[in-house]
Amino acid sequence: MQEQHLYEYAIIRVVPRVEREEFINVGVIICHWKKGFLGCKIKLDRQKLQALDPLADIEMIQKNLESFEKICAGAIHGGNIAAMDIASRFRWLTAVRSSVIQTSRPHSGYAEDLEQTLQRLFEENVA
């Protein structure tokens, strides 16, 4: 049996009209700071988004979701947040905020394969 890794994850949500508190799940972010693993998987369902808010700025929302990917990857063009250590990036991405893009509170679990777990969490919560 492989080693089990304690990880944290959160669901990424789009809340097109914050005052209504309606949202769609669009992704998952997962972190295991000891293993140096921070990843996310995102897919914006434009039809679902437009069902909640026909006037939603889809292009702006997509660009903001892309910033999650850049920050997770530690990309040079991901800004100052992307340059932080993995635990700090995860905490920043999952901080409670009242905006169009939000995350659930972080949850934890154990897994042998973090990539496989990311895919499973995505399929269970988004796809």
The pTM (predicted TM-score) of the whole model is 0.92
DSSP helix/strand/coil, 70: helix
pLDDT in tens, the chain (127 residues): 577 889 999 999 999 998 888 999 999 999 998 889 999 999 999 999 999 999 999 999 999 999 999 999 998 888 899 999 999 999 999 998 888 999 999 999 999 899 999 999 999 999 8
Ranges of each domain in the chain: 5-125
Q: E strands of the chain, at which residues?
A: 5-14, 24-32, 37-42, 101-103, 107-111
- DSSP annotation string for 66-102: HHHHHHHHT-GGGHHHHTS-HHHHHHHHTS---SSEE
pLDDT of residue 97: 83
pLDDT of residue 39: 95
